[in-house]
Structure 1
Amino acid sequence: MPDKSVFSPQNIGVSILGGFAAAAIAAVVARGGLGGLLFAHLAPLPLAIVALGFGVVHGATAAIVATLLLSFLAHPAVGMGYALLLALPAWLAAYAASGAPRDRRDLIRSNVSSWACLAAAAALALAVILWLIVATFSYGSLDEALNPIRARAFLILDAMHRNKELPEAMNPTELSGQVARAVPAFLAGYALIIHIANLWLGAFIARASGLLARPWPDIAMDYRLPRAAAGVFASGLALSIFAGPSGAIGFVIVSTFGALLMLQGLAVVHVFVRGSKSSALVLSILYFMLGFLGWPIVPLAVLGGADTIFNYRDRKAAAPPQPQKPAESD
């Protein structure tokens, strides 16, 4: 049975408690502060653990319970935001990672890790794009909808400008507008990374508990996006040159699918340094630069996009091993 959704009282109880745990984390996040910011990074984790450890139906139950609790105890808008930005992407990712079980068979049998990340990316991108469209029609223009973000950004940038922390040529008014337009895309891309990290962590916890039904894949070889993902990324780049909602939608597509391609580039690097004596050092430096500098995202995304076409990892695997040099005798 591909899906482990056994309807026992114990499993049903676990799914309900998982929903309560997910709602509790989201409630702490909604209160703000440093604690809320830290907990925000773990918001999808209970749903991932329940879905991967006890079955995707129980994961869906936990997501629904958490959404209903937040809708009634906090506000319907909070529940809707949680459903679109947290519950749905987390469950779709876990569903794909479980093989997309349907009628006692798996619809996804290969490249499970990439399909799981792609499912979360599509859900997040559509949710943010939907917000951009609704906000544009509700406020009359996208700039009006982003005014609260722009105002906060202006206060921060203006203070930095007065304290000589920004170059004199930078105008805080213009710069705050650019920051406001970039915020939806940044949140979509960053939320995707959080979802993927929690999916991996949830699967790791389920495997450590002996609950993971599927074998753990070789992610560096298994993660292969379809070529259409690179095409969607290119479409986002084309849209981003326009002003208004079209440009904002393009940036959202670029941030989410660019993150996916960056992960594929990382997979290529993992395969090419595998087995070398310096692999741990190279990967440590690379991840450090990703976390603290950020700019390696661009070349890694380019490498990932090229890999969707040229299949560098397959060529590496098919290449004959390099002969060892004989030891020199005295």
Structure 2
Amino acid sequence: MHTALAAAVGGGFASALFYLSVLFGGFGALILGYLTPLPLLAAGLSLGLTAALVGSVAGAVMVLGVSGSLTITGAYALTAAVPAVFTVRQALLARPRADGGLEWYPPGMLLTGLTGLGILGFVGAVALAVGEPGGLEGVVRRALGDMAAQFAPPDAEPSADTDHLWIAPALPGFVVVSWMFMTIINGTLAQGVLMRFGRNRRPGMRITELELPRWLGPVYGTVVAMALAIPGDVGFLALNLGLILSVPFAFAGLSVVHAYARARSTRTAILVAFYMFLVLFGWPVVVLVGLGMIEQWMGLRRRWTTGPRQEDE
């Protein structure tokens, strides 16, 4: 018990150090900052939900003690501790099967829950900015305008016009999407390391088994249609909700790619080439979202999932 407690607290301190490295700067600080949830997820997925909670509290206390700022500590809790605890709790849910084994919480439902958590964060930000001129979009435009002014030439005239900041309406959604990917990538890394050393509680999640709820497709289609057809505040909300909801469909599309590659003898070459193309160009993620939507309606993976399963998926 003492060893588990020490591991949980140590995970929290490591997470806090990763997070604080961004504040202090230095080489590799951004990479370490991106790995902030990793120690919390590793502790939780190996030792249980209590370890994730203890590590989160320890990390928050360390961040508060070093930074002396409740705002910075709150940001740590919202971006690292809360998603880590949520992910661990959902991932370790299981119920007994008739054959005596365990039926683990489906990865598609876990991804959907994380999407809901991201939507909740976005809605909270919208609510906090209600009293500001222009709402959340106005806050984002002014913040981007201030940043642009700092990098402008010294002799440039200041401008209050922020209409040219085309990214502003979609920026909140992109921030949430980035946060979701950070949580997913760190969860995958944590589970992979734990499986490598035999310390995982839950078996590995195969991406080819990812199943999204049926209702998610119509909801996503409706939100996208609203974003395209309705201007103003409603369009702003729909645009950002659409960006957030695109994440589970991107992973559903990725499951189609993995299923296709698994049915081919050149599986590794196909996946390496695809991921290189995705990282280099970025836009293929739109294709993944489209594949995910088609998968919801047509079940493309069933054509290629009749072969033996690969454990490393």
What is the TM-score normalised by the length of structure 2?
0.83
Q: Is the 8 A contact 2:125 2:136 kept in 1?
A: no
Whether 2:68 is the aligned partner of 1:113: answer no
User: 3-state SS of the aligned residue for 2:215?
Assistant: helix
Aligned partner (choices 70, 76, 100) of residue 70 of structure 2: 76
Whether 2:174 is the aligned partner of 1:174: answer no
Number of residue pairs matched by the alignment? 293
Whether 2:73 is the aligned partner of 1:86: answer no
- The percent identity for this pair of structures is 23
The whole-number CA distance in structure 2 between the counterparts of 1:238 and 1:118 is 20
User: 3-state SS of the aligned residue for 1:114?
Assistant: helix
Aligned partner (choices 37, 48, 56) of residue 55 of structure 1: 48
Whether 2:214 is the aligned partner of 1:227: answer yes
Distance apart, 1:59 and its partner CA: 0.8
**Bigger mean CA deviation after superposition, 146-155 or 282-291:** 146-155
The whole-number CA distance in structure 1 between the counterparts of 2:75 and 2:233 is 20
User: Tell me, which stretches of 5 or more residues in structure 2 are unaligned?
Assistant: 97-101, 308-313
What residue in structure 2 maps to residue 105 of structure 1?
none
**Letter aligned with residue 116 of structure 2:** A
Describe how 1:122-271 pairs up with structure 2 within 5 A. Answer: 122-138=116-132, 141-146=135-140, 147-153=142-148, 173-176=162-165, 178-220=166-208, 222-241=209-228, 242-271=230-259
The whole-number CA distance in structure 2 between the counterparts of 1:71 and 1:249 is 33
The whole-number CA distance in structure 1 between the counterparts of 2:254 and 2:89 is 24
The whole-number CA distance in structure 1 between the counterparts of 2:245 and 2:302 is 22
Distance apart, 1:129 and its partner CA: 2.5
The whole-number CA distance in structure 2 between the counterparts of 1:34 and 1:239 is 43
Distance apart, 1:54 and its partner CA: 0.9
The whole-number CA distance in structure 2 between the counterparts of 1:235 and 1:33 is 45
What residue in structure 1 maps to residue 57 of structure 2?
64
Deviations 1:219-263 (A, max 9, x none): 31x211112222332243244344455334323322222121111
The whole-number CA distance in structure 1 between the counterparts of 2:163 and 2:130 is 20
Q: Is the 8 A contact 1:132 1:142 kept in 2?
A: yes
What residue in structure 1 maps to residue 310 of structure 2?
none
**Letter aligned with residue 52 of structure 2:** G
**Bigger mean CA deviation after superposition, 251-260 or 265-274:** 251-260
Distance apart, 1:212 and its partner CA: 0.6
What is the TM-score normalised by the length of structure 1?
0.79
What residue in structure 2 maps to residue 96 of structure 1?
90
Distance apart, 1:55 and its partner CA: 0.8
**Letter aligned with residue 114 of structure 1:** G
What residue in structure 2 maps to residue 20 of structure 1?
13
Cα 1:248–1:47 change in 2 (3 A) is farther
Q: Is the 8 A contact 1:89 1:121 kept in 2?
A: no
The whole-number CA distance in structure 2 between the counterparts of 1:129 and 1:112 is 26
**Bigger mean CA deviation after superposition, 259-268 or 284-293:** 284-293
Deviations 1:36-70 (A, max 9, x none): 32212211101110010111121122122222332
Cα 1:174–1:229 change in 2 (3 A) is same
The RMSD of aligned alpha carbons is 2.8
Cα 1:140–1:302 change in 2 (3 A) is closer
The whole-number CA distance in structure 2 between the counterparts of 1:40 and 1:239 is 35
**Bigger mean CA deviation after superposition, 263-272 or 135-144:** 135-144
The whole-number CA distance in structure 1 between the counterparts of 2:261 and 2:95 is 34
